[in-house]
């Protein structure tokens, strides 16, 4: 679980306590603010699996699809309304 200082650093880096700062940061956040939704688009199944594993281990919520066409379909249908980040290959 992320500490309050780490959560603050990810949301507002300039407000995060410095390494030598002994003050404690108190941040009120719910889990949805900490868990960003990533849409990963890659035509290779091995790459999709690796990307998903890495991102999930860093507490991201991940949706993987095999093509830009499929990603656009899902986005257009409103099935992925809360995507924060899209990762694609070329």
pLDDT in tens, 36-90: 999 999 999 999 999 999 999 999 999 999 999 999 999 999 999 899 999 998 8
How far from the centroid of its chain's Cα atoms is residue 84's Cα? Answer: 7
The structural domains of the chain, ordered by start, are 32-90 (3.40.50.2300)
pLDDT in tens, 50-59: 999 999 999 9
Q: What is the pTM of this model?
A: 0.61
Cα atoms found within 13 Å of the Cα of residue 5, Cβ hemisphere only: 9
DSSP 22-62: -PPP-----HHHH--EEEEE-S-HHHHHHHHHHHHHTT-EE
pLDDT band at 8; cut points 50, 70, 90: very low
């Amino acid at each position: 679980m992320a500490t309050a200082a780490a959560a603050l650093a990810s949301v507002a880096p300039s407000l995060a306590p410095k390494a030598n700062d002994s003050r404690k940061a108190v941040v009120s956040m719910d889990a949805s603010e900490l868990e960003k939704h990533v849409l990963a688009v890659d035509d290779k199944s091995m790459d999709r699996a690796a990307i998903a594993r890495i991102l999930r281990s860093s507490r991201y919520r991940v949706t993987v699809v095999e093509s830009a066409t499929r990603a656009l379909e899902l986005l257009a249908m409103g099935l992925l309304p809360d995507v924060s980040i899209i990762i694609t290959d070329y």
